[in-house]
Amino acid sequence: MVCKALWQSRLWYGIITGRIRPAGKTTFEAADFPERPRKQKQKGGADMSVADTIFINMCRDVIENGTSTEGEKVRPVWEDGTPAYTIKKFGVVNRYDLRKEFPALTLRKTALKSAMDEILWIWQKKSNNIHDLNSHIWDSWADETGSIGKAYGYQMQVKHEYKEGMMDQVDRLLYDLKHNPYSRRIMTNIYVHQDLHEMNLYPCAYSMTFNVTKEPGKDKLTLNAILNQRSQDILAANNWNVCQYSILLMMFAQVCDMEAGELVHVISDCHIYDRHIPVIKELISRTPYPAPSVRLNPEIKNFYDFTVDDLIVENYQTWPQIKNIPIAI
C-alpha cells in the first residue's frame, strides 16, 4: 500500500491517475490502476522481452507499494528550483540472465552504444573528465575544466598495492578472473569516503562483485556479477545502467574466455520522481516487443581494445522514445 500521506494527497492522486481526486475522497479505487501485467507473448506464443516484464512489475510495485518523500527535506531539485520528491522502495533486486537474452527495454529505446561509451569512459579510459565522453549526460556535474571531481573513472585509475604488485581496480579484477577465477574476493568499489568531499556527484552504482561458476555440461566457465547501487532514478537510469553493466560483464567474460551469465542488480533506494510518474504510466501501458540480439565483436581479446563499434545490435524493435524528460539534479 502507498503511504497514508500519499493516498491523501490530491496532487499525487492527479499525477498517478491522470485525474483530479474529488474533494473528500481519501482512497484509490481498483480502476485507478490497470491489472498487474502478466508476462507478455507475441503472436504465435513466443515470449516478449523479460527485461520489459521486470521493468513493468518494478514500476507498478514502486507506485502501488512505495513510500513518498513529499514534504520532506530532499537534496534533488528540478531545474526551476522546485524540490524533486519521489515515491520509493527499499532493497529492490532484479536478475537478468544474459545467456537467455540481452536486457534492453523495448518499451522505449535505450541508446546502447551511448551506454557502452559511458561504461568505457569509466572502466577503460578511467576518466573523470566529460571531454573524454561522447555525450552530454554529465554536463550538469562538471566544473569549468570538464572534471566531475574524484568520482567514477578517477577511482578506477588509482593504483593499490597487492602482493602481485601495484594495480588499479580494473587490472586487479582482470588479473583475478584469469588467475584466480574461483576467488570470492573479485570486486570493485568506487565509494571512497575519504574522497567524497571532492566528488561533484557521489557514485550511484558504486560496487560490483564477480563470481565464476562451472555449469554442468559447459566447456567454458560462467561469469556472473552483482551490481550494487545506492540510489536509482528508475525512468532516467534503470535500463541504461542494466544495459551498460551487462555489456561490461560481456566484455570481461569474452576477454577471459568465459560465458556471460547472470547480472543481479541490487538497488537500495529505487525511486520514481513526481514529475516522471505520468511518463512511467505511459511506458508500462505499452506491449513489449521481443528482446533484441546483442553481441560483441569476437575478435577482441583485450579489454582495452573495445570500442563502441564492437557492439553489434540486431532486431531491436522499440516503441517511440519519450522526449524532454525532466531530470532532477
Q: In this predicted structure, what is the pLDDT of residue 260?
A: 99
Q: In the predicted model, is pLDDT for residue 227 greater than 80?
A: yes
* Residue 63 sits in the same domain as residue 9: no
Claim to verify: residue 297 and residue 174 sit in the same structural domain = yes
Examine the domain organization and report whether 22 and 45 are in the same domain: no
Residues 259, 112, single domain; the answer is yes
Q: How far apart are CA 42 and CA 22, in angstroms?
A: 39
Has residue 320 been placed in a domain? no
pLDDT, residue 150, reads 98
Number of domains in the chain: 2
Residues 36-61: what's their mean pLDDT?
A: 74
Question: What was the pLDDT predicted at 44?
Answer: 40
Range of 3's domain?
1-33
- The reply to whether 11 and 97 lie within a common domain is no
The string of DSSP letters for 23-60 reads TT--S--GGGSPPPPPPPB-TTS-B--HHHHHHHHHHH
Taking alpha carbons only, the member of 327, 322, 254 closest to residue 108 is: 322
Query: Mean pLDDT throughout 234-238?
Result: 96
Q: What is the mean pLDDT of the chain?
A: 89
- 30 confidence band (pLDDT: 50, 70, 90): very low
Cα–Cα–Cα angle for 256, 128, 224, rounded to 5 degrees = 25
Does residue 319 sit within a domain?
no
The answer on 128 and 19 residing in a single domain is no
Active site amino acids:
204
Q: Is residue 82 scored above 90 in pLDDT?
A: yes
Q: How confident is the model at residue 329 (pLDDT cuts 50, 70, 90)?
A: confident
> Residue 291 falls within a domain, yes or no?
yes
- 12 with 133, same domain: the answer is no
* Same-domain pairing of 5 and 61: no
Q: What integer is the mean pLDDT of 307-323?
A: 96
Taking only the tens place, the pLDDT of each residue in 135-145 is 998 998 999 99
CATH number at residue 201: 3.30.572.10
Q: Are residues 114 and 70 in the same domain?
A: yes
Question: What average pLDDT score do residues 193-211 get?
Answer: 98
Residue-wise pLDDT tens digits, 238-292: 999 999 999 999 999 999 999 999 999 999 999 999 999 999 999 999 999 999 9
- How far is 313 from 110, CA to CA, in rounded Å? 12
Distance CA 143, CA 121 (A): 17
Looking at per-residue confidence, does 159 or 47 come out higher?
Answer: 159
Task: Verify that 98 and 47 share a domain, yes or no.
Answer: yes
Looking at the domain assignment, is residue 5 inside a domain? yes
Same domain, 15 and 102: no
pLDDT of residue 324: 85
Distance CA 327, CA 267 (A): 19
What mean pLDDT comes out for the span 99-120? 98
Q: Are 1 and 140 contained in the same domain? A: no
pLDDT score at 17: 35
Question: Is 329 a member of any domain?
Answer: no
Q: Higher-confidence residue: 329 or 181? A: 181
- Is the residue at 164 inside a domain? yes
Q: Quote the pLDDT of residue 325.
A: 86
Predicted structure pTM score: 0.85
